[in-house]
Amino acid sequence: MQIIHTIAELRAWRKTVSSVAFVPTMGNLHEGHLALIEQAKKEENHVVVSIFVNRLQFGQGEDFEQYPRTLQQDADKLRHAGVAVLFAPDERELYPNVAQNYHVEPPHLQNELCGAFRPHHFRGVATVVCKLFNIVQADTACFGKKDYQQLAIIQGMVDDLNVPIRIVPVDTGRAADGLALSSRNQYLNADERAEAPRLYQQLQWIGTQVAAGNHHYAALENAAKSTLSAHGWTVDYVEIREAGSLNVARLGDKNLVVLAAARLGKTRLIDNLEIQAA
C-alpha cells in the first residue's frame, strides 16, 4: 500500500492504473469503514481511501479538535485490508488558501434533519467530497447508509453536476446488539453504551408498525421520541421520510426511511432504517 500526502503524487499514480474505487473517511477506522472497503474491492481493480478530518463540516462547539486522529493504526488496518493507496493530505494541501472561497451549496435538504441542528455541515461535506472526487478521479465511490442524508446529498450533487462517478450505497455496519458502528461510539461511557441500542430498537418498532399498516406517522414519531426521552436521551428528531427524495412521507408512499438523531450524555448518535409501507 502506498501512503500519499500530495495531490500531485496521487494524480501521477492515478495515471498508472485502470479502474479505481474510492472510500472517503475522516479516519479512526472501524469495522463499518472496512465493510465499505470490502465493497469497494468488489467494484473496481484498485481502492483509494482518504483520511482527512474536514474542518468545514464541524460547527461551533463541535469536536473538531478532539476528533480522534489515529493515522498509524488506520494505515495498518488499510494495509491489511488490501487497499492500494491511502491518501492522507494535511489541511494546507487540501485548502492551500486557508479559507475555501468556493463552496458546493446543497439544496433545501441541507437545512433539514441533521442540517437543522448542524448549520453548514452538509455544505462542508459536499465541498470536501467534490474536491476529493476531482482529485482522485475514481470510477466508483462507496458511502455508508448510516449517514443516509449525507448519501442523498452526495448522490444529488453527482447527478446535478454531472460528476463522472458511480455512487454505491453500503448497508450500515452494526454491533451485535444493533448499535450502528460509529467513531463517536467510543465517547459513550459504560451505562450509555448499554442504553445506546434503544435508538435502533425504536426505529425497528416504527418499521414494524408501518409494515403492519399504521400510517399515523406523526404519532409513531412522537411515541418513539417520548420513549427515548424517558430513558435519558435528548432527541433532535425522529422522522419518517420518502426514501428516494427524503421528502416528508405522505400516505401512498411505499419506500420509506425512518431517521433519528439523539444524544446520550454528550454523544450525538444517528441511525436510520429503510421500511416498506403496507
Of the candidates 113, 153, 110, the one whose C-alpha atom is nearest the C-alpha of residue 129 is: 153
- pLDDT at residue 63, rounded to an integer: 79
Architecture of domain 183-272: 2-Layer Sandwich (3.30)
- CATH assignment of 2-170, among 3.40.605.10, 3.40.50.620, 2.30.40.10, 1.10.287.110: 3.40.50.620
- pLDDT at residue 75, rounded to an integer: 98
Residue 98 has pLDDT above 90, yes or no: no
- pLDDT at residue 36, rounded to an integer: 98
| Residues designated as active site | 33
- pLDDT at residue 127, rounded to an integer: 97
- pLDDT at residue 212, rounded to an integer: 96
- pLDDT at residue 217, rounded to an integer: 97
Distance of CA 74 to the CA centre of its chain: 18
60 or 204: whose pLDDT is higher?
A: 204
- Distance in angstroms (rounded) separating the CA atoms of residues 259 and 216: 16
Question: With pLDDT > 70 as the criterion, what percentage of the chain qualifies?
Answer: 100
Binding residues for ATP: 26-33, 144-147, 173, 181-184
Decide: 267 and 192 in contact? Cβ < 8 Å: yes
Residue 178 has pLDDT above 80, yes or no: yes
Segment 104-152, tens digit of pLDDT: 999 999 999 999 999 999 999 999 999 999 999 999 999 999 999 999 9
- pLDDT at residue 133, rounded to an integer: 98
Decide: 100 and 57 in contact? Cβ < 8 Å: no
Q: In this structure, what C-alpha cell is assigned to residue 62?
A: 463541535
- pLDDT at residue 64, rounded to an integer: 86
Distance of CA 3 to the CA centre of its chain: 23
- pLDDT at residue 97, rounded to an integer: 84
Segment 152-176, tens digit of pLDDT: 999 999 999 999 999 999 999 999 9
Every domain of the chain and the residues it spans: 2-170, 183-272
- pLDDT at residue 99, rounded to an integer: 82
- Distance in angstroms (rounded) separating the CA atoms of residues 12 and 268: 40
- pLDDT at residue 59, rounded to an integer: 85
Binding residues for (R)-pantoate: 57, 150
Binding residues: 26-33, 57, 144-147, 150, 173, 181-184
